[in-house]
Amino acid sequence: MLPLVLVVILGVLELGALRVAAARARSAADLATVVAIGDQDLLALSATGRFRPSQDAAAVAREYLVLNLLPVEHTLGAGAAAIAGAADVAVFADAGQTDPLTGRRYEQPAVRISADVPIKTPAFAALLLGAVTTIRVDAASEAR
Amino acid sequence: MRTDDSGLATLETILSVVVLVPVLFSVIAFGGAFQRWIAQDAAVVQAARFAAEVGGDSAEVRALLADALTGSGIDPSRVDVSIEPSRVGWREPITVRAVSQARIDIPFILHIDLPLSSSAVARGEVNR
């Protein structure tokens, strides 16, 4: 009875911790896309009156993904820089484009991040499951 | 020979209480702490975005964070908040951190304050 109870407790706690880690990774990606789409090409904006992401929007998205993942890096199965480096970052410079990955149509210029985030799950490893659980994080922000 | 197992039910009940009560309290206590952590994270992200918009630490940013924390059932007076740097320029990073303690009380096993730390980095939007 007791071993089963311990297994249940471990599993529940690990699932809860995994949920928190996943939420934090999603909010990191969200914030990175918000910052990146806020990085507008000011010359184009003043000349045309239309939003247009700056040339370095993808780099900014990666940079802020790293900065926001760093505080939780100890819970990740890879470095924050490696995760951000491997992330699929797409910049949709024109309004009305459709994201080929998600199928979503953006009414305004947008930045999208799709990243695989490996999260350490030591309790799952103790239960002979995976020591690392990878979750897919998708985040997108449109200019307005 | 006469066997008497009347004490067995009592023993099983005692074992069940000693084991199951902590399990029940663990699920409730840690579930509450995890929920609080996620809510605190969301509040900190919101505050970081606002701090970037207004150019740094201000009473408005702290009030927004306090409102968001209160709305999530967290007492803002028991949360340590830091906003660095206090004044941020165009395209400079600004970090908002919040640390609170979640009380975990599990009968027979554990009585601790679990530190819940949240942080978010946004980018300054004020061109000074």
Does the structure show a pLDDT above 70 at B1? no
**Has this prediction a pTM greater than 0.90?**
no
A118-123 average pLDDT score: 93
- Per-residue model confidence as pLDDT tens digits over B44-92: 999 999 999 999 999 999 999 999 999 988 999 999 999 999 999 988 9
Percent of chain B residues topping a pLDDT of 70:
98
Please, are residues A29 and A65 in contact by the beta-carbon 8 Å criterion?
yes
- B4 contacts: CB under 8 Å, gap ≥ 6: none
B126 touches chain A (CB under 8 A): no
Confidence band, pLDDT 50/70/90 cuts, at residue A126: confident
Residues of chain A found within 8 Å of residue B93, distances taken between Cβ atoms: 64, 67
Q: Average pLDDT, whole number, for chain A?
A: 90
Please, are residues A56 and A103 in contact by the beta-carbon 8 Å criterion?
no
Q: Which residue has the higher pLDDT, A124 or A82?
A: A82
Residues 32-61 of chain A whose Cβ lies under 8 A from any Cβ of chain B = 34-35, 38-39, 60
Domain boundaries of chain B, sorted by first residue: 6-123
Q: How far apart are the first and last CA of chain A?
A: 58
* pLDDT number for residue A41: 76
Minimal C-alpha gap between A94 and chain B (Å):
22
Token look-up 């484009």 returns A97
B123 touches chain A (CB under 8 A): yes
- Per-residue model confidence as pLDDT tens digits over B84-127: 999 999 889 999 999 999 999 888 788 999 999 999 999 998 87
Residues of chain B found within 8 Å of residue A60, distances taken between Cβ atoms: 123
Does the structure show a pLDDT above 90 at B27? no
Residue B127 class from Cβ within 10 Å (0-12 exposed, 13-18 middle, 19+ buried)? exposed
Pairing relationship of beta strands A88-92 and A110-120 according to DSSP bridges: antiparallel
- Per-residue model confidence as pLDDT tens digits over B10-23: 888 888 788 888 88
* pLDDT number for residue B58: 94
A1-5 average pLDDT score: 74
ipTM value greater than 0.85 = no
Residues of chain B found within 8 Å of residue A38, distances taken between Cβ atoms: 123, 125
